[in-house]
A and B are shown apart, each in its own frame.
Chain A
Amino acid sequence: KAGVTQTPRYLIKTRGQQVTLSCSPISGHRSVSWYQQTPGQGLQFLFEYFSETQRNKGNFPGRFSGRQFSNSRSEMNVSTLELGDSALYLCASRGGGSSPLHFGNGTRLTVT
């Protein structure tokens, strides 16, 4: 079974631009979560989608948004990029209930 795939692996953007990250979950997983990882803050929850609906949301500003498609693939968008948005963005999928998260290898976003 293929794992969680995130594209692209690396991105360099300029302040004020917007960016879209993509995630393909494990086949059969309908839940996709996004996390931001930074050295000082660890893994911070952004949002979770289940069957195309946002099920949970973290404490991030509205510049961070996401969506999920009918094939469970998900995208995350960050608008009006700030220097502080530089981070590793991780996507994870899981099956139902309190089942484990399966992470991709992330997209490294650098904002200059």
Chain B
Amino acid sequence: QQQVKQSPQSLIVQKGGISIINCAYENTAFDYFPWYQQFPGKGPALLIAIRPDVSEKKEGRFTISFNKSAKQFSLHIMDSQPGDSATYFCAASSRDDKIIFGKGTRLHILP
């Protein structure tokens, strides 16, 4: 029940295309859903986060879509750029509890 399932494991997208990464959870106590971006040799860094009281959050080219009834959320990267090539992790937590991560998606944007 504490798992966060992330797909796909890897993704290749043409420059300018839309990258979509999906995550699903089971624990209805989760109330915070962040996405992290990790470049080689670096630790993950917060990209964007959402709480379940909204269905969508947009920051620049990055959008989180959240479906509370389906217990799913996804990251959309519009106009994908080679600089977006990285590993992306979705995560979930409840207040003051540990943050559980998905297994990651390795995204490669073709120039």
A33 interface neighbour in B6, B45, B99, B104, Cβ under 8 Å:
B99
Please give, as numbers and ranges, the residues of chain B lying within 8 Å of A4 by CB-CB distance: 43
A89-107: CB near B (< 8 Å → 1, else 0) gives 0101000011011111110
- Residues facing A in B82-111 (CB within 8 A) are 89, 93-104
A contacts with B, residue count (CB < 8 A): 24
Please give, as numbers and ranges, the residues of chain A lying within 8 Å of B36 by CB-CB distance: 101, 103
Question: Are B45's CB and A103's CB within 8 A?
Answer: yes
Question: Quick one: closest A residue to B42, CB to CB?
Answer: A105
Question: Are B41's CB and A105's CB within 8 A?
Answer: yes
Question: Quick one: closest A residue to B106, CB to CB?
Answer: A39
Main secondary structure of the interface of A (DSSP, over half): strand
Question: Closest CB-CB distance, A2 to chain B, in whole Å?
Answer: 14
Question: Are B46's CB and A101's CB within 8 A?
Answer: yes
B49 interfacial by beta-carbon distance below 8 Å: yes
Stretch at the interface among A13-21, A40-48, A70-78, A79-87: A40-48
Question: Quick one: closest A residue to B51, CB to CB?
Answer: A98
A41 interface neighbour in B42, B43, B45, B103, Cβ under 8 Å:
B103
- Chain A CB count within 10 A is highest, among B42, B93, B99, B102, for B99
Question: Quick one: closest A residue to B46, CB to CB?
Answer: A100
A53 interfacial by beta-carbon distance below 8 Å: no
Question: Are A45's CB and B43's CB within 8 A?
Answer: no
Also in contact, A43 and B44, with CB within 8 A (given A98-B31, A98-B32, A100-B49): yes
Report A's interface with B, CB cutoff 8 A.
4, 33, 35, 40-45, 48, 55-56, 58, 90, 92, 97-98, 100-106
Leading 6 A-B pairs by shortest Cβ distance? A103-B43, A42-B103, A98-B32, A43-B101, A56-B98, A100-B46
Report B's interface with A, CB cutoff 8 A.
6, 31-32, 34, 36, 41-46, 49, 89, 93-104
| Other 11 A-B pairs with CB < 8 A, given A42-B103, A101-B36 | A35-B101, A41-B103, A42-B89, A42-B102, A43-B101, A58-B98, A92-B43, A100-B49, A101-B34, A104-B43, A105-B43
